[in-house]
Structure 1
């Protein structure tokens, strides 16, 4: 069993929940995060939620190879989970240079430092956005990829780099997890999604409207070819995503090279349906207005999760009501988000 895992972006939304999942199942966890879109306060909350301390946490940008190398030199790292990346679709269309620099440049820097320190096991945080404007749903891992925005393209480029390096470095074992739309929060209420600035993703935006931080949700388009005209997504509880990463660590050595799996529920939910479910969970009104479509968005993205179920015997176990209830608990207990 892996003993020490280095988690890049470990103070972020998905990273922090994954750290809790790892700590509660016996792993030692080292966090690297430059807090460009996360709060250092999440680190203390990880430890409090898990009831165990992190092995260490470093304020380091993964593109800084020298600083990253010192982290590897200080710890017996057995495997890496790589979350550190920019992730907002809309922002990526406005700042494509930043997205390529951080997402692709950060991944190649990490791979180089891993290689220098003899670490050859990696779980890579990919995205369902690589499928683009899907011609069908649900989506399998063998369906065509056609990203429609720089964020998605950077994730696909990283997958391609990892695939090619695996061809030439037979010791490397990589699992790329294309998870769909992570939402929710840890049920304890200490950890949740608290992006800096105005949220780009729908669930934290809805939560901030419900708690009164924002006045209304903007719904980007109601003329998509979906049942109610709004975008349909496969929302997956962040704790299921965290669990999926933990389970992935135990399957890195199943086969050599690079392998790709979807993480999703297989159930599509429209924006209007999500708003209604959150209003029910919170007991609060969530006013919204329809605006024009957002560049880079697509009509529907829903996973076919059967491949990972067949390979690992693992499926998600939480539904939309759980996601909304837990996200609201975090927002209600932390109306202003994490403390500065």
Structure 2
């Protein structure tokens, strides 16, 4: 089986998806994007093309749950493989809107699978999450760790994984590479791409950046009574460029054999909330004041991935650390103080 040349990217204007598009274009792939812009903006793809120096093959505004609209995309393009990023992803919001999360994440995945099957497309790279491990322990956690999701977001990803596994058992023509990534962080080093969610951000790194930039008064630290060295929650923060490069490498391994193959993506060590605050303050040269708040429902004390399997099988390892994630997030914040709503500043320009 030859490597795919045309890749459909769902959620291609989102945080991870947009960075994936840059890497795919850089490696010569034809990229087709679908996105409903519910948590993104079309302007992102203009920046993707600016960075890559190539045009995205085609862009469609649609919800992946709309099978008729999605099917029309497959009718127009000879898609070889799909990278599926389109999903709701905020843990805290998922506890308040569980039905919406199951509808979007599980419903979107089943609609995509049915459409792929109708068009004879059987290669999928699925962007999952180490959040499915839940309260499994401090880690590092291998892929064999039983899933114990503690919130609807994580549970929705786990349900998608079970559906994909069932499809692969029933239909031997499918190859699914299921990538459970840890917390994506950072931004493109150019400062043109980063995380810019609509509404109030829930991602820690984005919140810290806004506090350092003076756009929020202080950071709310949810819980300081966890069984961790400083009492705050520990996570494995993986630079978004490492995240998407691993997804790109996955395309080379779709030919390794049919079925579903599961890999963790992470750096293999954790950082607490206060570790992130200290690292970001050091990079930005700005204080990051914070206030303590009660734990959020659905959060766990620690979540760190064992990534030895992907290193062994693919030779993939992350090349960036927490300092890199803080530095690139800060650059994006400085160049885009209002997110994608305003024009990016030139590097070195003043506020």
TM-score class, shorter = over 0.9
The SS at the match of 2:83 is strand
Question: What is the aligned partner in structure 1 of residue 187 from structure 2?
Answer: 185
Equivalent residue for 2:203, pick from 191, 201, 204: 201
SS in 2 for 1:262: strand
1:216 maps to which residue?
218
SS at match of 1:69: helix
Match of 1:82 among 81, 84, 102: 84
2:28 is matched with which residue: 26, 29, 39?
26
Q: Distance in 1 between matches of 2:9 and 2:318?
A: 22
Q: How does 1:1-340 map to 2 (within 5 A)?
A: 1-339=3-341
Secondary structure of the corresponding residue to residue 190 of structure 2: coil
Query: CA–CA distance in 2 between the matches of 1:220 and 1:280?
Result: 22
- In the aligned structure 2, how far is the partner of 1:72 from the partner of 1:282? 45
> By how many angstroms is 1:134 displaced?
2.1
Report the secondary structure of 1:314's partner residue: coil
Q: Does the residue aligned with 1:126 lie in a helix, a strand or coil?
A: strand
Measured after TM superposition, the shift of residue 282 of structure 1 is 1.0
Structure 1 consecutive aligned stretches of length 4 or more whose deviation exceeds 2 Å: none
**Long gaps (5+) in structure 1:** none
TM-align CA RMSD = 0.8
Sort the Cα spacing of 1:322 and 1:217 in 2 relative to 1 into closer, same or farther, 3 A.
same
- Any idea what SS the aligned residue of 2:167 has? helix
Give 1:310 shift. Answer: 0.5
Deviation at residue 201 of structure 1 after TM alignment: 1.2
Q: Are 2:138 and 2:301, in contact at CA under 8 Å, matched by a contact in 1?
A: no
- Please state how far the C-alpha of 1:211 moved relative to its aligned partner: 1.5
1: distance between equivalents of 2:100 and 2:214? 31
Distance 1:286 1:14 in 2: 26
Deviation at 1:213, TM superposition (A): 1.8
Shift of 1:208: 1.2
Shift in Å, 1:317: 0.4
Q: CA deviation at 1:286?
A: 0.9
Secondary structure (helix, strand or coil) at the match of 1:80 reads strand
Residue deviations 1:251-272 (CA, integer Å, cap 9, x gap): 0121211111000000110000
TM-score (norm 1): 0.99
* Residue aligned with 1:30, SS: strand
- Alpha-carbon offset, residue 135 of structure 1: 2.3
- Could you say what secondary structure the match of 1:29 adopts? strand
